[in-house]
A and B are shown apart, each in its own frame.
Chain A
């Protein structure tokens, strides 16, 4: 420790450091801790390979009158997850089709829904915070998407 600080200065600096920490609400710190729980999840990561918002920019500029549906595709080596943002809910399908369980993970927690034998599922309501989707099929495939913000 350098000799730089006298008692009053050290005390003042400490007070400032404590107040900087106290200014941060607990929920803000919790958000971070929840995010950290994601570290070390053992699933294949599916990359975003199509996003209608991103990939259809040039088309939208031409025919902007259509209220288009947002569509996303995530692809991993073993399966793809297709998502469509509808009114109030999120519907999707696993390709190639098969049954399983679909989990929606947000910083706040996890909800799960079933995937039917033709690979279809619905998530209701649409998550209003960043989320990621994890799909576990009956044949043991485990796939996780990147973070999605709608």
Chain B
């Protein structure tokens, strides 16, 4: 649930659903998942199944609310939201993000604190990090490099292919 909740959530967000509708979709997706658990023997198939099921549930909610407001033709309009390329990208992104979070979780607490401060939005300055973690400003750079190197070598990231990463880089430039 921890691993894949962001995938389900981000799809709901793309459909612009209200919190109430997201709860509705989320509940149905998780309940369906629990019923499918015995049948989904291949763990690799899980993200795809979740993404497809979430899309279907979002469409159901969107269609139902349009019907009640008597807007548009419902399903035809809603179907334009479904684009397999987008779904595939969402799945890739969710897998990559989950692998990164898993690699982060394997780091020692000091590395986690440092990287959390470096990736916060807005980012912390080196002076704030130095004060917050009690380390000299001069050693932040080397420690950052060491922690990232450690993360790069973690087993959680070993599963990511070069293609995943190149794809991710393209996303960052975009």
Contact = CB atoms under 8 A, between A and B. Distances in A.
Interface stretch (B30-38, B41-49, B65-73, B77-85): B30-38
Contact of A36 (B30, B118, B169): B30
A14 B103 CA distance: 9
A89 interface: no
A10 B157 CA distance: 11
Contacts of A2: 160-162, 165
Contact of B23 (A23, A28, A33, A38): A28
Given A2-B162, A21-B97, A21-B101, A10 B151 contact: yes
A28 B101 contact: no
Contacts of A29: 1-2, 5
B5 A129 contact: no
A112 B66 CA distance: 35
A1 interface: yes
Given A2-B161, A36-B30, A20 B1 contact: no
B6 to A, nearest CB: 5
B116 interface: yes
Given A20-B97, A39-B37, A27 B23 contact: yes
Given A1-B158, A2-B161, A5-B165, A16 B97 contact: yes
Contact of A4 (B2, B121, B162): B162
A31 B166 CA distance: 34
Given A1-B154, A4-B165, A35 B30 contact: yes
B119 A14 contact: yes
Contact of B1 (A1, A7, A27, A32): A32
A9 interface: yes
Nearest to A35: B30
B168 interface: yes
Given A7-B145, A9-B172, A27-B23, A32 B5 contact: yes
B172 A13 contact: yes
A23 B172 contact: no
B110 interface: no
B9 interface: yes
A1 B157 contact: yes
A101 B95 CA distance: 44
Contact of A15 (B121, B144, B169): B121
Interface of A: 1-2, 4-5, 7, 9-21, 23-25, 27-29, 31-36, 38-39, 107, 129-130, 147, 149
Given A1-B153, A1-B154, 14 more contacts: A2-B161, A9-B172, A14-B100, A14-B115, A15-B118, A15-B121, A17-B96, A18-B119, A28-B8, A31-B23, A32-B5, A32-B33, A39-B37, A129-B24
14 contacts: A1-B153, A2-B161, A11-B148, A14-B115, A14-B119, A14-B151, A17-B97, A18-B119, A20-B94, A21-B6, A25-B19, A28-B5, A35-B31, A130-B31
Q: 8 closest A-B pairs (Cβ-Cβ)? A: A15-B119, A35-B30, A4-B165, A32-B1, A17-B97, A17-B100, A32-B30, A2-B162
